[in-house]
Amino acid sequence: MTRPFNFSAGPAALPEEVLQQAAGEMLDWHGCGMGVMEMSHRGKEFISIAHQAQADLREVLSIPHEFKVLFMQGGALAENAIVPMNLSRGGRTDYVITGSWSQKSAKEARKYSDVQVVASNEADHHTTLPPVAAWRLSDQAAYVHVCSNETIHGVEMHELPDLKSLGCDAPLVIDCSSHIASRPIDWSRVGLAYAGAQKNIGPAGLTMVIVREDLLGHALPITPSAFDYKVVSDAESMYNTPPTYGIYLAGLVFQWIKRQVENTPQGELTGLAAIEARNAAKARLLYDFIDGSAFYSSRVAVNARSRMNIPFFLHSDALNEAFLAGAKDHGLLQLKGHKSVGGMRASIYNAMPLAGVEALVAYMKDFAQRHG
Ligand SMILES: *Cc1c(COP(=O)(O)O)cnc(C)c1O
């Protein structure tokens, strides 16, 4: 039985291989007589699962040793509060607004710090990227926050800003929830990266925080202990019970990514660069089709277009319901756009094969012919 192609923005499709493996291990993990959900997080079985997941994440993302990897809970929205609690020291923080998610981040951070919006694409309805050279960075910001892929508006920073070259020593904080592990991260430009797992990594409930060690230990006194990065780091993400099943499943996905990399005939490309090349090819196929069609359109500026989340519009909104119903009949699920943007959105994370994008384009072509 082949499953439909699932274009959900999140929680999103997982690699079928991973789901099969998890199903096979559901009742009895590696002969220990227990499923992963049923074992103590302090037992040797789960400790080995968590260590392996962390080691594989470090390998996949090439995380330098001076960064700590924390497995937390609360999602990216909780991090909107946890980041300023831990890093702001109650002072000035700089935020770049590129869409709904960064807007939410800035709003939440105002409760804990003196937020300065240093650039915004709001006047362009979040369809562009404010040029880095024009960011009005503060002299004394505790950090600069960006959302490097705006899941709702489909805007992606294809290169992370090099703050040092702008004369800014503040650490860069990135919300990379919806494109983590889709391409390499230049850690020399990053102080802290956070991501909810449910877009490109695993089930909802796990939040990954990757933070430079020197940024730990400055939490505001009001910070809940379970959200104090230093406390979580010292306890190796076991201060309280971590989301054990989410960590296990994410670990299976990291191993799947490693197998994908090994199986990708990309010449010199290694690691996530090989995954990035596949994602670029998938996105190019869809954008090229949309751009070459009079029936469909993309409203995002070409240099700002996300490779993961691709909002698009039919020439008439009156056809949206028919498009979605037909898509479902063709085994193409969850293409409805976010309500704040409208139209359609195809989320094509790592787990979406090229064949899924090809099937979508074939359906779009056929639909346009019948309704054009
Ligand atoms: C989904 C998403 C969030 C919200 O994540 P939660 O897990 O619901 O808190 C925040 N930022 C980005 C970029 C997202 O894609």
CA–CA gap between residue 64 and residue 353 (Å, rounded): 30
pLDDT reported for residue 267: 63
Domain boundaries, the chain: 17-256, 268-371
Question: Which residue has a Cα nearest atom 4 of ligand 1?
Answer: 76
Strand ranges inside 123-230, DSSP E? 144-147, 149-150, 155-156, 172-175, 192-196, 207-212
Question: Rounded mean pLDDT of 43-47?
Answer: 98
**pLDDT tens-place string over residues 253-312:** 999 999 998 887 656 677 899 999 999 999 999 999 999 999 999 999 999 999 999 999
Identity at 199, one-letter amino acid code: K
Q: Is 187 tagged catalytic?
A: no
Number of neighbouring beta carbons within 10 Å of residue 222: 8
**pLDDT tens-place string over residues 97-110:** 999 999 999 999 99
Ligand 1 atom closest to residue 207's alpha carbon, by position in its atom list? 7
Contact partners, residue 270, CB within 8 Å, separation at least 6: 261
pLDDT reported for residue 270: 77
Q: Is the domain 17-256 a CATH 3.40.640.10 member? A: yes
This prediction's pTM? 0.97
Tokens at 21, concatenated: 């493996």
Question: Rounded mean pLDDT of 316-335?
Answer: 98
Question: Which residue has a Cα nearest atom 7 of ligand 1?
Answer: 75
Answer whether 10 contacts ligand 1 (Cβ < 6 A): yes
Strand ranges inside 106-169, DSSP E? 114-120, 144-147, 149-150, 155-156
CA–CA gap between residue 105 and residue 98 (Å, rounded): 11
- Of 56, 94, 175, 228, catalytic: 175
Strand ranges inside 112-265, DSSP E? 114-120, 144-147, 149-150, 155-156, 172-175, 192-196, 207-212
CA angle 183, 184, 186 (to 5 degrees): 140
**pLDDT tens-place string over residues 311-322:** 999 999 999 999
268-371: CATH number: 3.90.1150.10
Question: Which residue has a Cα nearest atom 12 of ligand 1?
Answer: 177
Question: Rounded mean pLDDT of 356-365?
Answer: 98
Q: Element (H or E) spanning 250, and its range?
A: helix 244-262
Q: Is 94 tagged catalytic?
A: no
| CB contact at 8 A, 342 and 314 | no
Tokens at 275, concatenated: 């995954």
Answer whether 202 contacts ligand 1 (Cβ < 6 A): no
Rg over CA atoms, the chain? 21
* 39 Cα: distance to centroid of ligand 1 (angstroms): 29
* 112 Cα: distance to centroid of ligand 1 (angstroms): 20
pLDDT reported for residue 262: 86
* 85 Cα: distance to centroid of ligand 1 (angstroms): 18
